[in-house]
Structure 1
């Protein structure tokens, strides 16, 4: 026989009765005839145990019920609950909030961010090693340079700059392409082409302004040492040897023998000077003493004079030298014959032997008879008396070099570090007795002003060409004495040589002279290109080697750029949109200070609004499309689309728009390589009034809006004892007197804008950077939400929870019993259940004449709010107005996660409700009081 417990009025203990029956179905149908809303449960009342018949099949279940089963019948299953409580089950929001990632410390950025995110000083720039721009939504995009810009001058002397840039990863819809604030189509000669990922950059562009690009860009390396240096005029010869009788003495001293010359009229300390024509050979050495010649073509001289550098001499002059030789005739008679052996002979070597105060020099001649045939008669040793002089010394001194004036007097100049600059100064004391005063020379002193620009090294492996850009800022012309403008001519000399990767020279210096003559008062430029003799690196220098003199010549030249170039065979770039531009340096194109090609770009994405990927990409700023794209991106989310609750995402996006009555967008460029997928989602969520959450490895967005049903309750049973702190405040949090929200105004040239609340007089505002917000309405709503929370936050609650803390996250609505100063009828855990009567762990005092509700934490992670009444004479059990929406977990069964409860008066007050603002890893939860006034301005645009 089965047992039925019938609750005719769940809140009245006198209306509870029990009966037994052999026919459960018949007994229930009799009750249902009187109470049409009645429901029957096999076991404790809850949806899982609901066996109310709805058709023949379910009716047969009751007909065949076990004879000893216990059923509960609730006659008023639809009993009312609090007017501010939804009866529907509210799912507990994920245990783990992606927002918490945002509260973690972030590493300092080491790479440049995209100019898209800058609100000032925007420019196309290189971001070497940085993350390729990931644009989502619609932004004013300033593409990044991915190669060195290359400039050159055309035949009209106008500068042309070509750039290769990357707009960002993926596909885009492009509008309003500009250079600075000027439309690219309005700049004469300018061109810009945008290429989809995977397409050739010399093929068809999806957006093109101006001429098409038909050649691949060169790989370019620019010399960073060149920054517009001027080429100086050729050196001016201030004085030469004939004019000033210049001679040199030991210590780097230059003298003028002419007392009429005053060096201080021409030079100053620190000037650069160049010495030319100061080449001196060692003086001839005369030998006096006894001398002999012999058959070995040697001249041997013994003298008391020491000859410096004797071994360096290569010639010997004999003057008045003759030998007297006895001749024996065939008839045995003899006679004497004199042979003159004078002449200048070639010397192969000179040796010296010292004996006391005497020096013996053996001078070996080479082919003496070819100089004087009489030498063939020297077949023995002969003494000679002659003038003997060693000439043509190999010892020379060349003082030509560029020096710095270290000291100056009227009659002499002392150069700085003479021997360090030119080691030949060390020869002066030995070879020339410390002075060149008696030596004729054509030495000259020139005042110089950095004639050469360079040497500079420039490295590019495999370089094929070198390009030099010369700029004439004032034109090139001359003015005659009759004030007529005529042609001016200049010559620029460039020297270069190939070097290896270590800077060591590989070739001799090659010199090239570029001559140019023209009559032009307008600035212009020249580009000179040389084909390198072999691929590789170079060192180079330039100078202005000549200009045509005249009454008023204008010939200023600057070195604007120097490049190495090599061919490039890369014409397809995967996964990124490429931009190529060509700009002419006219006033209309380069009136801005920096290069700033920009456009309005909207990322094109696949939509999953139907649950399946769309067949074509569409331009979108819908955050649901963006999240789907990021999740499946192999460099961001690297996840399957199945890890998203797609239906919920799109429903939430539609709900947000409908709720506010405005189009809520996300428009931003992600450029931080260290930003994780979770941080990215949280960034988006915070701008679209949501929280990014994950449950069972499925990500979804929860819309923050006014709430009525708490997702979890906490009381003394699941809070760490004595951990609760409640702080009541008066005035605004942290003494903020308002809110300043910064955002990017797309209607005002994408400039930085601010919203100040309550007005512009705010002095100490809470500052908020609204990432991805580009429309006023969205910025306004975010600002007012922040301001209202400052304005109406009156209580802060902090407590440490047990494992239930794992199930909550930011902006969750909690019901937290005030255990610091109890104002509730009771709280604790459910010990037992008997139908609609539950037994409590703590005594609950429900006063007569008052209405109460019980908040039950259910195992399916929901909080159910049910009307409750006391049982006469008992304080440890209550009657429920209806069945809970899920099974209760009873404490006596040994469950740790037993059902918790809080009993409050049915007043509609939300004093114990709070919004979670922070949760730490140790289970500490911080929340603020909840009030609908936080959302008071949400409907201002409806």
Structure 2
């Protein structure tokens, strides 16, 4: 077969060439014979043949080989730094159409450092620059047997520029090493903080100094990205008025970087105006005391915006101090809360703070004051048929409590873990319908405990409700005031108005009947609205006259035109307690009267107010007990102390009689006290500490079993007059309620067993109030340890009465 001859002559555009040949641009469009090559020649190519090539003299051949500096890379182009200075053939491109060749495929090889930048930071006040570098997949080498850390060094160049971006300063180079890891494959990151030797506008660029290990036989993970650059200007003034600035540092992990909108939760204490010497301080300081917070809220121009003459600072300070002294701990007067909503009124805000410390805020005229709800025998007003609207009174008496709730669940925030914890009462009981209380501003177990017990005690012991409309005298009342209310729902109420006074004899508006063998008490209302009580007896003058046991503390108002005239109420002593009520609701009517709702006043409401220490154990292991704030003081379990689930009480402490006890950081012991605990001892020999001091010498104190004796001592060694003991007949492996009280005013010590007083002693010396104490041991190093179980050890900050101790005993 004759060889086929193909004519490929034509004028073509050359797009490139190398050592193997020349590349033409779409040659088949110039000469269609190119299409005959495919299928007519072996391997679709002709034999080698010499051809004549003539180059268009108008276009010069160019060779652009060279080593160039890349200044920028975009999606479609590479920008070189003055390429004509490296190779003059770049100037020959002017002979080409549009000064560009056809498409070519040049071979590009990078050498040296890979630089990213320049970038202009166009702020005339720059003083600091932060560069964030991130290795998202980690930095390591892995040969299949082990992971090897691979550190990467990066560097940056910072150079001052003018307002047009032209470099005018010396280029500064700074570097940092991003550490690899042989343990983790997670993100590695570093921030390079640069403070250049100039301030103002600059340009920056960055590059990697550490080359990749291409010779490593294994997997190399070393990709580093320049994540961020931040230019900062130093602030000269650190006082921003009422604005607080925060700086948060976060490691650039995958999880952190995935968050689109970062939120920051933190604990902050605001600097506020505090009370010093009953006056506002001139310097702001931090405080979580409720009196300081109330003053600051009143003076804040965005909240209260009132002047100091509208604040009874002395009353507020004294009332808060009264709360602290009453409960025996500063925790009771703390308020820790963030008001993050602006829909609360000033009055609601003050009320929230006051309620957290067991108080009510009110105005007398235009002046803000506080009143403290506490155990008291004093009533503020007496209401009878003279100052109650006829027929307006209704009473509801129930057997059992007034509420449908059978328990309390109170939530508070524990500062140890900033988690919400719950106090549940009654302890260990199955509650179907608890009263759920969400508190605000309470961050201590003690304060929450007091609130929870008050709520539960009121549910248990309120069984009388009264509602009536009162005259203008009720305007001075504040919720939680104690008042006396005569029962005008029944006939024969012995109350009325005092007409005249002659020494100790009073002439009354109503006749009085005195029954034989009964003693009576009269309640008198004074001009300031307060009520005074004293014994009263029958007068020989007439049934309209009575004899007082003593002179009233104030002169009686006998003018019937006075705002608060002298009213009286006479009751038999066996019923006088039931006449006291606690004001729970008050609403003003249009006719200058007030609608009042109250519940029976009971001292049992405040029985647990005296609690100084309580060890409530809602957990099943001691590790949780030591960290979750279940005790009202910091506690530390020592030795093989364990919590067991007892059939009688549930969770209780189990002591081994030798090397286990509980240490309590007391901070401050109360001068008077009541110590209570349920104990189940396994022996009646030797010394077994129940609740004692952590030292066995000097002014130490002990409440312990000494053999078959139950003993209280102040001072060691014990001597006549500083200790009291009584036989312990509780037996072995039997639960018994033990109690000891001490009244510091009289030095009286009493011992109780199962709610019954067994012994007492007067004149016992005070003990050291600075000592910590132990549960289940007595003395240094935990000697005299208890053998058996102890449940719910408690210390009250006063000597409870025998009646109160019986109530505590029966509450379990």
Q: Place the TM-score, normalised by the shorter chain, in its bin.
A: 0.3 to 0.5
Find the structure with the greater CA-based Rg: 1
TM-score normalised to structure 2 length: 0.46
